[in-house]
Every structure is written in C-alpha cells, then in structure tokens.
Amino acid sequence: MNKRLEVIGISGIPVIKPGDSLGKIIVDAVTKSGLTIEDRDVILVTQVVVSKAEGRVYRLSDFKPSQEALRISAITGKDPRHVEAILQEAVRIVRMRGEVIITETRHGLICANSGVDLSNVGEGMVALLPVDPDRSAENIRREIGTLTGKKVAVIITDSHGRPFRRGAVNIAIGCSGIEPIWDRRGERDLYGRTLRSKQICIADELASAAELVMGQADEGVPVAIIRGYSYRVSEDGARKIVRPAEEDLFR
C-alpha cells in the first residue's frame, strides 16, 4: 500500500503578543484558510511565537553584563548584553570559536547561543527559549482539543545546527501527545537480523519536514500541520530525546 503524508503551512497568524492564546489563534487561522483540524493531526509551532506568547521576549538593555559576559564579548565580538542573556540560559559553555558560542541549555539542548534569538523580535530585542517547551506544547494541545474536540499532537520546533554537518535543520524542543522516539530495538530487518540499536527520532523528523513549508527567514508561516503520519500517542515530552550524559560518547 502506498503511503501519503501531507505537510500544510498555515498562514494568517498575526504578530503574537504576550498573553496571546496560541491554541485559539491556530484554530482561527486554520478555519480562515478553509481547512479543518482533524484527529491525529500533528501541529507544529515555531519556538519564537511560543516565546512571544509566553513573555520570553526582552530588551537587550534588560541584561546587565557580568564580568564573564564582558570577557566573552571581548573574545567573540558579540554585544555583551547578548552574551549575558546567553549565559543566563546556559548551564555550561561547550565550545567557542570566532563569534560562535555553543552551550548546553537548562533544557539539555546543545546549541548555538543557548537558543537566544535576535531574529523576528524587533531591533534591540531578544527572544529566549520557552521555560518548559514540553509544557508549552501540552497547553497548546489541550486548548486545540477543547476548541475543536479533536485529538492532536503538538511539536514546538527550533532551528539548530548539527555537529560535523553544515546547515541547520528544524528539531523538536518540545512535544505533547506523540511518542518522540520510535524504538525499533528487538524488531527484525529484511534478513531476519534482530535490531539492537535502532531508535528513530520521529519528533525531529516531523519538525524538519514542517520547516519545508515554514521557512526560516520570517514568521510568515510559523505553524504547520502534518497529516497522515501514524504515530503512537504518548505523554512523554521532547526531554526524552536528550541523551543522558552516561550515554554520550562526546562529553
């Protein structure tokens, strides 16, 4: 049987303000697009609109540079206020080279600048990652369910680079209602060999697929629907994706 997957970009999302109800805004935009939300849809939402709705956008002037921020600013050439925001969101600096600061965030993400974003937030402003992206996804999922009566999954996405590879891809930093990892260990391959290590990060793959209709340059399409993918419902969040330190070969 042939399989078919739809990836639908949802336009018409207004500029998000603190306190906005993203679930309602998404449902309204889908309706205005002449579409409906269906059971088992996966709703993907970019991090920056979630951060805006949750009041995680600040003025750079809100950050007073520490001595460490001033030191790193002198090395990297970054605005010391930006560096201070990065440090406040990090548990450690993994590597610095040129202007790049790779950190581990409080969420366990290894990424550039602790995910602190200067894009799409206005001059002199900075967006921080949601405090709890899994909870953010859960809240949006529950609201969409209440408004539509449909059972959906929600993934919060962000664009990250990858070690040893050029180019950024969208990944899942939060999710609700979907098992983020497809664990295929114990299954057999085409030749009957037992799979011993195969685990597929479904949430990241769906996030990357959605980026093809979302784009990165602006907020014109910050929401997408993926329809037709058969997933396992789960209350596990994207934190399950983060590899524990004892399993990490590179620390």
Please give the radius of gyration of the chain, using alpha carbons only, rounded to the nearest integer: 19
- Domain of 191, in residue numbers: 6-55+130-246
Number of domains present in the structure of the chain:
2
Is residue 237 domain-shared with residue 140, that is, in the same domain? Answer: yes
Instruction: CATH number of the domain at 82, please.
Output: 3.90.1660.10
Is residue 73 domain-shared with residue 169, that is, in the same domain? Answer: no
Decide: helix, strand or coil at residue 206. Answer: helix
Is residue 62 domain-shared with residue 51, that is, in the same domain? Answer: no
Is 19 domain-assigned? yes
| pLDDT of the residue at 215 | 65
User: 121 phi and psi, to 5 degrees?
Assistant: -130, 0
Interhelix angle for 133-148 vs 22-32, to 10°?
50
**DSSP strand pairing (57-59 vs 125-127):** antiparallel
Is 251 domain-assigned? no
- In this prediction, residue 187 has a pLDDT band, given cuts at 50, 70 and 90, of confident
Residue-wise DSSP of 113-146: GGG-B-TTS-TTEEEPPPS-HHHHHHHHHHHHHH
Instruction: CATH number of the domain at 233, please.
Output: 3.30.1330.100
In this structure, the number of other CB atoms found within 10 A of the CB of residue 183 comes to 12
Is 1 domain-assigned? no
Is residue 148 domain-shared with residue 197, that is, in the same domain? Answer: yes
Pairwise CA distance, residues 243 & 251, whole Å: 11
Mean pLDDT of 141-169: 94
Is residue 37 domain-shared with residue 97, that is, in the same domain? Answer: no
Is residue 38 domain-shared with residue 72, that is, in the same domain? Answer: no
Is residue 192 domain-shared with residue 90, that is, in the same domain? Answer: no
Is residue 164 domain-shared with residue 64, that is, in the same domain? Answer: no
Residue range 70-122, pLDDT digits in tens: 999 999 999 999 999 999 999 999 999 999 999 999 999 999 999 998 877 88
Mean pLDDT, rounded, of the chain: 92
Q: What is the pTM of this model?
A: 0.93
Decide: helix, strand or coil at residue 34. Answer: coil
pLDDT greater than 50 at residue 217 = no
